[in-house]
Amino acid sequence: VNITHSNSRVSAVLPTGESIEVLLYGATIISWKDAAGQEKLFLSSKAQLDGTKAVRGGIPLVFPVFGTAPDHAATAALPQHGFARISRWEFLGRSTSESARTTDDGDSSVKLDFGLSPSNLDEESRKKWPYAFGLIYSVTLGREGLTTSMVVRNEGESAWEFQVLMHSYLRVDDISQVSISGLESSSYVDKLTTPISTTTSPSSALTIGSKTDRVYTPAGGPSAPVVVTEGGAKKFSLVRDNLNEVVVWNPWTDAVSMSDFAPADGYKNMICVEAGAVKGWQKLEAGETWEGGQIISL
């Protein structure tokens, strides 16, 4: 495995060619390529990569709140999706918890750890969410796919609660050829209706023909795969651990109103399938730890 680390990014390449690139800003994975060098994530050509704004694409991290929660006192003051994706994380190195290492040119996977704690936050975020916490985000690049997992620890003396989500922008060739299975007959919140409504999806796979913004609680539970196919061929299969929700988002032609979304018709080349714990709140007592993650297989 070849790991390079600059002051802004960490990248890793497996001997078989698979690679990832992680921006320390937000611990945002901005590139994930397969052995043939095919990019698997959508990254807007106008994404800000200089730490001035959350990255439009890749896999931004949402913590401690999904969206905004005006009626949730503890997080009401935070910006949309919280501070994790707009803070500078620390690279903790290649995870020692990796399975026994083979010789360097035989590595079939690499696991990189990133950390965030109050000392990494700007004054504003610390003031708006004054709790003692520790996050360890692990990214595992393997030959069969990408695993991202989060450990959340309450380092304080009192309980607090959070939401967490991995906001994955998956790259597709043509959204009109995409179908998503694993969300059938499931309860979902449609954020595009007023008032926001909760309804049950049909027994057929989901296709995307207009702006879509839904929070599903898949009936099959976290271990049942959510599969993105394109033109009948499987592109991504996502299983979860301890993340009960799957958000599906495509801005459609509203993309034109996002200054950092380019090209404007780039909505045809992406689908956000976001694993998260965002319905209600995860409560952590002092000293407690929570863990959750996703495996995206190709």
Q: Which residues bind ligand TA6 (CB under 6 A)?
A: 54, 67, 80-81, 167, 191, 213, 247, 249, 272, 274
Has 98 been annotated as catalytic? no
Contacts (Cβ under 8 Å, ≥6 apart) of 117: 133, 134, 135, 155
- Among candidate residues 274, 285, 288, 291, the one labeled active-site is 274
Instruction: Return the number of the residue (82 or 142) whose C-beta is nearest ligand TA6.
Output: 82
Tell me how far CA of residue 98 lies from CA of 25, 101, 187, 226, 282, in angstroms: 24, 7, 36, 26, 27
- Among candidate residues 21, 81, 167, 245, the one labeled active-site is 167
* 174: number of Cβ within 10 Å: 10
Instruction: Return the number of the residue (184 or 213) whose C-beta is nearest ligand TA6.
Output: 213
Has 123 been annotated as catalytic? no
Residue 85 annotated as part of some ligand binding site: yes
Instruction: Return the number of the residue (3 or 196) whose C-beta is nearest ligand TA6.
Output: 196
Q: Which two tokens stand for residue 75?
A: 């997080």
Q: Shortest gap between Cβ of 85 and ligand TA6 (angstroms)?
A: 8
Residue 282 annotated as part of some ligand binding site: no
Is 21 in contact with 4 (CB distance < 8 Å)?
no
Residue 56 annotated as part of some ligand binding site: yes
Q: Rounded to whole angstroms, how far apart are CA atoms 131 and 160?
A: 8
Is 55 in contact with 25 (CB distance < 8 Å)?
yes
Q: Shortest gap between Cβ of 73 and ligand TA6 (angstroms)?
A: 21
Instruction: Give the annotated binding-site residues for substrate.
Output: 56, 80, 85
Residues with catalytic roles:
167, 274
